[in-house]
Structure 1
Amino acid sequence: MPITSVTKDPEKVTLTVVADFAVPVTRLWDAYVDPRQIEKFWGPPQWPATFTRHDVAPGGRSDYYMTGPDGEESHGYWKFLTVTDGESFEVEDGFATNDGEPKTDMPSMRMTFSFEATPQGSRLTTITYFNSAEELEKLLAMGMQEGMTAAMGQIDDILADLTSYAASLATSHQLLSDTKVRISRIIRGSVEQIWKAHHEPALLRRWLKGPDGWEMSDCQVATTPGEHYRYAWRQEGGNAGFALIGELLAAEPPYRAVTTESMEGAPGPATLNELTLAPVSEGTLLTFVITYDNAEMRDMILDTGMVSGMEASYARLESEVLGS
């Protein structure tokens, strides 16, 4: 059990949890930044978590839900108030409805997570600030302390599983719901470099080339919300081709962009694509959360080999753009 102390301070209206780990600070930090890892321990064992959004950046947000043994869902959110990469972050933590809206009949809290090196590895100090003594007692009565203890008891296994963590450097996908898919890839470069490579036409043409034997024939980039983009490809020396089009809905450089996307000329609704970039010890964790209209559409597109195609593009990004 990594927890070494739990201290309730009725005067300051805080709950402080200290936990020690036999891994470097960078490894512990990465476990909290990567949605694939934090969802393995944030919820108690009987209530595993699923993160549908996880933007670890100032002004960012996380949306998650925990699923109970009977299928009941409990939703929550974080609003990131401050982030110091590799050292600390502060969030507003609250309960949410199934639509992700804050629950007005439940209290929200402020939480700080501080990471520091120790002779044995690393220490995480979590301080929860409550709005009143009554709220503190209410949430403790609901089992908050026991839930945190049970959840953090799972972290050691995640931190020790370095083999699967290293394997996750390649592009992978997880099904988050009937309509949501999360695509993840660690790219060996800075957040700023990866953002630039996604938003400068000259760089995009170097790595987003499409299938072997194809070339990018059009690269119209959207940089301001409300603008539209168009990426087109054609066979080298031929006329066959296709294009992806969409609108930039939100942009928070260099951490997050939200777009719609559809195949030009194809029937059916567009997908919603949420790109998030976060610094980790190996480089930058790139996360795409794609929302489809239905499960059939989701599975049909995944079956085209989309993930392997994305891996080829990201490998090209590393070798031909970041490695040059």
Structure 2
Amino acid sequence: MNSHLQFDFTVNKSDNTINVKREFAAELALVWAAWTQPELLDLWWAPKPYHTRTKSMDFRPGGRWHYSMIGPNKEVHWCMAEYHSVEPGRGFTGLDAFCDEAGNINAAFPRSLWTIQFIDQGDSTLVEIKIKYQQLADLEKIIEMGFREGFTAALQNLDQYIAAQFKLRQQMRTDTRARVCTYLNFPGNTEEAFRFYQSVFRKEFVAPGIQRFGQLPTEPGQPPIAETVRDMVLHVELPITANHILMGTDAPKEMGFTVTAGNNMHISIEPETREEAKRLFNELSAGGNISMPLQDMFWGAYFGSFTDRYGINWMVNCLAK
């Protein structure tokens, strides 16, 4: 986490609450999406070395998010969030609990009411979180279980991966000419795959070449990149036939990813104008499933992603203002 960003964590035993204020160096739309879309929540919600896997999510009043936290030894802990209210772009409330795989609440652990508000600060977003327990003993039990440390680490996951991923993409894309790329995700063998593609197409990687997680500077107060991830590929681009670009990244399990056939490849369209980006996004996504609505992103692009009605994954990424 950037040391200049606000982060306050306080415990108030007089009303059995935990109060957190956490600022993110991203626009409101992106931060809201990260808290409300299962594909993004699965990337950061669990503190390392755990990772989150959503079973189902219905983000609306009366809906539920049913998910598991999976540990390094494959142990599985099931959780449930029951949404009470939702104000798009502003906040939501919900009741949190431990449960089993079928969604039955585990009464041995205390439940908590979460109230989360999002405050637009222009280039950054402040998230204010109030977590209330019924009894002081419940609050103390959660604190004793290491909630502060675990939640702090989880919030840092969001900073670390998203900022790193798109910082390097912006460095490697210096003009706004239209192009179409194919974006590939691998579970840890991106370099092996791209060395193979390079030998076949006999082309050089786009400068500055293979970028690795370990090359990223760590902000003060931010946890270092895990040793098992440091040498993995953060981003690489290779021109192939007719200058079509293959882009690739490692999506390691240490960061909460599960790469499977179907989520490992996207067609990435980079139009010259925002108008064309909007047209392509709206027409291609009709009847499909939008994973991230088209919106201005903090790395300077007008970006959205979706799976079309035929099951094909797309990204639209426009750098024009």
What's the TM-score once normalised by structure 2's chain length? Answer: 0.55
Distance 1:121 1:284, change over 3 A: closer
Distance 1:309 1:280, change over 3 A: closer
1:71-220 matched pairs, under 5 angstroms: 71-118=74-121, 120-160=123-163, 161-162=165-166
Which structure has more RCO (C-alpha within 8 Å, separation ≥ 6)? 2
- Which secondary structure state, in structure 2, belongs to the residue aligned with residue 40 of structure 1? helix
CA–CA separation in structure 2 for the residues paired with 1:154 and 1:129: 24
Gaps of 5+ in 2: 171-179, 186-250, 252-256, 269-276, 296-302, 316-321
Distance 1:101 1:15, change over 3 A: same
Cα contact 2:39–2:291 (8 A) shared by 1: no
Cα contact 1:31–1:159 (8 A) shared by 2: no
State the shift of 1:281 in Å: 4.7
Cα contact 1:27–1:281 (8 A) shared by 2: no
Cα contact 2:289–2:309 (8 A) shared by 1: no
The alignment covers a number of residue pairs equal to 217
Gaps of 5+ in 1: 199-274, 288-306, 316-324
Cα contact 2:79–2:96 (8 A) shared by 1: yes
- Which secondary structure state, in structure 2, belongs to the residue aligned with residue 39 of structure 1? helix
Distance 1:154 1:73, change over 3 A: same
State the shift of 1:188 in Å: 6.3
2:68 aligned partner, one-letter code: Y
2:59 aligned to 56, 65, 75, which one? 56
Cα contact 1:51–1:64 (8 A) shared by 2: yes
- Aligned residue number for residue 42 of structure 1: 45
CA–CA separation in structure 1 for the residues paired with 2:265 and 2:117: 26
Cα contact 2:56–2:67 (8 A) shared by 1: yes
Distance 1:183 1:56, change over 3 A: farther
Decide which structure has greater strand share.
1
- Aligned residue number for residue 322 of structure 1: none
Q: Over the residues paired in the alignment, what is the CA RMSD in angstroms?
A: 4.3
What's the TM-score once normalised by structure 1's chain length? Answer: 0.54
1:121 aligned partner, one-letter code: S
- Which secondary structure state, in structure 2, belongs to the residue aligned with residue 70 of structure 1? coil
Query: Which deviations, in whole Å up to 9, do the C-alpha atoms of 1:259-299 show, x marking residues without a partner?
Result: xxxxxxxxxxxxxxxx9778845499768xxxxxxxxxxxx
CA–CA separation in structure 1 for the residues paired with 2:293 and 2:62: 18
2:18 aligned to 8, 15, 23, which one? 15
2:45 aligned partner, one-letter code: W
